[in-house]
Copies of this chain bind each other. A is one copy, B any other.
Amino acid sequence: MEQPQQETVERYSRQMVLGCFGVESQRCLSRARVLVVGAGGLGCPAAMYLAGAGVGALCLLDRHGDCVERSNLHRQIAYNDAVVGVDKAEALAQFVRNLNPRCDVQRLDSKQHGVGICAANAEQMVQGFDVVLDCTDNVMSRYVLSDACALQKVPLVSGAAIGTDGQLSVYCSSGAKDDDTPCYRCVHPVAPPQHCVGSCDSAGVLGPVPGIIGTLQAIEAIKVICGASFVGAEPLRRKMLLFDAMDCSFRTMKLRARNSACIACSSNSTSTQNRITRVNEYDYDAFLMGDSAGDSAAAAPAI
């Protein structure tokens, strides 16, 4: 009978044989704890490829009560008609458990039952993970997640897609002295006006476009996890990738360094407690409402 270890070696053999990756990188993956927030068009391929590659623990989080709809199926390829109506993060967890039984897959439940990630619980949520993937679909979640990752010094692989466009970057320093990676808030200090924010549901999206960005998020997460073991690999820090499916063009832009005055990620160590207090007391609703107070969308729990 086949030994469990032989089975594992066989499963990952095509990665371990790769000179720059090797056994050591595979070991890094097997010890890694990864949080994927958002189980939609980005989260599906990201979670599938991360489980396939062999991360040790994969936690999935989506808005509680967010269920698979038929209009998701063209781009959220872990689902099919049989799971329409099923809780999304649970359906994705089931898929990736089958894909790789060696991966410890959990559907993360927020402390406050019935709520996804939000300002009140985000910091605890991201604590202890080696990397977090932002696969969400709204502005508030993006700030809440980045603030939490900045405080906890957890690297954040952030992807976004809409229409025929996609964007990708790795935010938040891991805490190393010379790491000047900005957080999401450093690059986007002011939230966009609500009337300028589109969603895949309202503006539409070509199915495979989030597929590209979600799969790239898996690659960036692998590089962040493996670090120097993955020889020559460089995560997309202080860079943003811009994808346009119309002509299959990709551009890489250089991003600003961390802002030393950023309320979330400032490196001024004397103010750590201050920072935490400031972020915890931060009024996300007011920040997001900006020019359109009265719109109740921003008051809803984020995922």
| Residues of A that sit less than 8 Å from B by CB | 7, 10-21, 45, 48-49, 52-54, 69-71, 73-75, 77, 80-82, 98-101, 163-164, 168, 200-209, 211-212, 215-216, 218-220, 222, 232-236, 239, 241, 245-250, 252
Query: Which 7 pairs from chain A and chain B are nearest by CB?
Result: A18-B204, A250-B250, A17-B204, A49-B208, A211-B215, A208-B218, A53-B207
When all copies of this chain in the complex are counted, the total is 2
Contact B13 A71 (CB under 8 A): yes
Contact A74 B204 (CB under 8 A): no
Residue of chain B at shortest CB distance from A41: B14
Please give, as numbers and ranges, the residues of chain B lying within 8 Å of A234 by CB-CB distance. Answer: 246-248
Contact B207 A74 (CB under 8 A): no
Please give, as numbers and ranges, the residues of chain B lying within 8 Å of A53 by CB-CB distance. Answer: 74, 206-208
Residue of chain B at shortest CB distance from A48: B77
Please give, as numbers and ranges, the residues of chain B lying within 8 Å of A233 by CB-CB distance. Answer: 164, 245-247
Complex-state Cα separation, A247 to B81, whole angstroms: 38
Residue of chain B at shortest CB distance from A218: B208
